[in-house]
C-alpha cells in the first residue's frame, strides 16, 4: 500500500521552512513578471522586437513558460505546507517548471541576433502546433503552420525539413533536447550528480519518476524483510536532500530565465535565488 512518507521532527521543520520560502518566491516572481510587462520602456529590447512581425513570439513563449513554472512551484509549496511528503509526486511537479524555465531561457538567451531569436520563436511555435496536431486538431494546426511558414518567408527565415520534407523548425538550429539544454545551462558536476552535469542529472532524475521508470520507483528502497526465499519486502522512501537539490535547481533555472526577461524589458532582477537545505 502506498502512503505519503511520514516526516521526522527535524524533517518537518525543514519541509515547513522550504514551503514558506518557495511560496514567497513563487508569489513574488509572479508579481515581478506582471510588473515587468506592465510598463515596458519604448527603447527596450522587448518593445523593439514587438515592432517587427513575429519578433515577439520568442518573448510570448518565454512569458507563458515562466507563468506555467510559477504555478507549479506554488503547487509544490502548498503540498509541502500540508506536511505530507509524497515519494514520487513532488518529482513530477518539479520537472515541469525545470523544463519550462529552461525553454524560456533558451528563447531569451542574451547576445544572439534578432534573426536567430525570431527563428527560435518560430521553432517553439511550431513545436506547440505539432502537439496541437497530435491532440486531434489537425486542421487547425495545419492552417496555423501554413501561416507560420508564410511569416517565416516574409522575414527571410529558412525552414528546416527532414529527408521526407517534414517541417522540423526554422533557421539554422533545431529545438534542443531538454536534457542537453539543461546540461548546457547548468554544466557543473559534483559527486552528488554522479559526474553528470547538474542540469542533466536533475532532468533525468525527475523524468524517471514522471515516467514511472522502474529504477526510479525503487530508488532509495530499504529492505525490511524476506518472507520467503527469492522475495524481499522493501520500504519505498524519498530522500529529502535529493528533493531539495532538485527543487533548488528548478528555482535556479526559473530565476535565471526571469532575469533574462528583466534585461530584455530594461528592468533589473534584485531578489536572490532561494536555496533549500
DSSP assignment of 16-71 equals HHHHHHHHHHHHHHHHHHHHHHHS--TTSHHHHHHTSTTTTHHHHHHHHHHHHHHH
Which residues form the domain of 86? 9-111+176-264
Q: What's the full length of the chain, in residues?
A: 277
For residue 93, the SS3 value is helix
Asked if the structure places residue 276 within a domain, the reply is no
pLDDT at 5: 63
Q: How far is CA 264 from CA 44, 87, 113, 159, in A?
A: 6, 39, 13, 26
Asked if the structure places residue 82 within a domain, the reply is yes
Measured distance CA(96)–CA(210) in Å, rounded? 10
Asked if the structure places residue 134 within a domain, the reply is no
Asked if the structure places residue 224 within a domain, the reply is yes
Q: Are 238 and 5 in contact (CB under 8 A)?
A: yes
pLDDT tens digits, 156-166: 999 999 999 99
Q: How far is CA 208 from CA 8, 112, 212, 215, in A?
A: 26, 33, 6, 8
One-character DSSP codes across 113-161: -HHHHHHHHHHHHHHHHHHHHHTT-HHHHHHHHHHHHHHHHHTT--EEE
Q: Which three cell numbers stand for residue 12?
A: 518537518
Number of domains the chain contains: 1
Q: How far apart are the first and last CA of the chain?
A: 29
Put residue 177 in one of left, alpha, beta given phi > 0 → left and psi -120 to 50 → alpha: beta
Measured distance CA(72)–CA(102) in Å, rounded? 14
Asked if the structure places residue 225 within a domain, the reply is yes
Asked if the structure places residue 252 within a domain, the reply is yes
pLDDT tens digits, 67-81: 999 999 999 999 999
**Which residue, chain included where needed, has cell 520500504?**
235
Asked if the structure places residue 66 within a domain, the reply is yes
Regarding beta strands 222-228 and 231-235, do their DSSP bridges make them parallel or antiparallel, or are they unpaired? antiparallel
Kindly compute the dihedral angle of the four CA atoms of residues 173, 174, 178, 184, in this order, to the nearest 10 degrees.
-10
Measured distance CA(249)–CA(235) in Å, rounded? 27
One-character DSSP codes across 184-219: HHS--B-GGGTTSBHHHHHHHHHHHHHTT-HHHHTT
Measured distance CA(179)–CA(175) in Å, rounded? 12
pTM confidence score: 0.92
For residue 227, the SS3 value is strand
pLDDT at 266: 85
State the 10-residue block means of pLDDT for the chain, 277 residues long: 63 91 94 88 91 93 97 96 88 97 97 95 96 92 93 94 93 96 97 96 96 87 83 81 96 96 83 76
pLDDT at 261: 94
Asked if the structure places residue 43 within a domain, the reply is yes
Amino acid at each position: 500500500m502506498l502512503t505519503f512518507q511520514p516526516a521526522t521532527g527535524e524533517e518537518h521543520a525543514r519541509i515547513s521552512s522550504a514551503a514558506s520560502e518557495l511560496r514567497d518566491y513563487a508569489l513574488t516572481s509572479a508579481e515581478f513578471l506582471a510588473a515587468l510587462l506592465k510598463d515596458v520602456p519604448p527603447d527596450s529590447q522587448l518593445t523593439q522586437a514587438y515592432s517587427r512581425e513575429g519578433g515577439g513570439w520568442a518573448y510570448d513563449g518565454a512569458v507563458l513558460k515562466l507563468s506555467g513554472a510559477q504555478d507549479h512551484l506554488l503547487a509544490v509549496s502548498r503540498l509541502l505546507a500540508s506536511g505530507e511528503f509524497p515519494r514520487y509526486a513532488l518529482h513530477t511537479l518539479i520537472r515541469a517548471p525545470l523544463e519550462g524555465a529552461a525553454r524560456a531561457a533558451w528563447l531569451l538567451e542574451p547576445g544572439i541576433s534578432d534573426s536567430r531569436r525570431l527563428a527560435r520563436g518560430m521553432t517553439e511555435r511550431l513545436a506547440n502546433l505539432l502537439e496541437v496536431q497530435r491532440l486531434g486538431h489537425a486542421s487547425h494546426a495545419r492552417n496555423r503552420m501554413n501561416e507560420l511558414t508564410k511569416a517565416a518567408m516574409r522575414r527571410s527565415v529558412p525552414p528546416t525539413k527532414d529527408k521526407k520534407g517534414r517541417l522540423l523548425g526554422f533557421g539554422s538550429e533545431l529545438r534542443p533536447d531538454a536534457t542537453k539544454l539543461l546540461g548546457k545551462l547548468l554544466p557543473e558536476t559534483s559527486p552528488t550528480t554522479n559526474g553528470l552535469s547538474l542540469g542533466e542529472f536533475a532532468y533525468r532524475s525527475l523524468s524517471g519518476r514522471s515516467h514511472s521508470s522502474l529504477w526510479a520507483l525503487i530508488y532509495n528502497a530499504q529492505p525490511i524483510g524476506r518472507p520467503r526465499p527469492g522475495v524481499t519486502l522493501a520500504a519505498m522512501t524519498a530522500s529529502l536532500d535529493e528533493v531539495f537539490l532538485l527543487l533548488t535547481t528548478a528555482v535556479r533555472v526559473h530565476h535565471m530565465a526571469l532575469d533574462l526577461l528583466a534585461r530584455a524589458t530594461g528592468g533589473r532582477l534584485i531578489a536572490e535565488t532561494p536555496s533549500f537545505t
